[in-house]
Amino acid sequence: MAGSGAPPDKAIILGHPSYVWGYGQERRLALIRRYASLENRTILDVGCGLGMYVRAFRRFSQDVFGVDIDADKLIEAHQELPNLYAATAESLPFPAAPLGWSCRTR
């Protein structure tokens, strides 16, 4: 709370959304698919957090990568998902090569 002297919650500082994959996210994925082909593409999710969209994109391609600035979330997500990296969008840890599709999911 403002003025309480307590440090702000990390989730608030980093802008984390709900961690529940729900109807809203499925609708957003359907909207993405309406305008972009995801099948067998190289996909980058910038701000991947716990990797919920990375997991969903892997339904369409195995060449899916995620980057996020929150190392704790990446450690948790990396237990189940490959190709996750701690990085900012301005300093991606990949060679300069075209991506099939990139997404900022938050």
Residue 64 inside a domain? The answer is yes
Residue 65 β-bridge partners: 44
Residue 19 inside a domain? The answer is no
Number of domains present in the structure of the chain? 1
Looking at residue 27, what is its pLDDT? 87
Looking at residue 1, what is its pLDDT? 43
CATH number at residue 63: 3.40.50.150
Domain encompassing residue 86: 38-106
Residue 56 inside a domain? The answer is yes
Among 20-24, 37-41, 93-97, the range with the most confident prediction by mean pLDDT is: 37-41
Residue 101 β-bridge partners: 43
Residue 16 inside a domain? The answer is no
Residue 5 inside a domain? The answer is no
Could you give the percent of the chain with pLDDT greater than 70? 70
Q: What is the DSSP string of 8-76?
A: PPHHHHHT---S---HHHHHHHHHHHHHS--TT--EEEET-TTTHHHHHHTTT-S-EEEEES-HHHHHH
Band of pLDDT at residue 40, cut at 50, 70 and 90: very high
pTM exceeds 0.85, yes or no = no
Residue 2 inside a domain? The answer is no
Looking at residue 87, what is its pLDDT? 94
Q: How many CA atoms lie within 13 A of 100 on its CB side?
A: 15
pLDDT at 78 over 70: yes
Question: Would you say 67 and 46 are in contact if contact means Cβ atoms under 8 Å apart?
Answer: yes
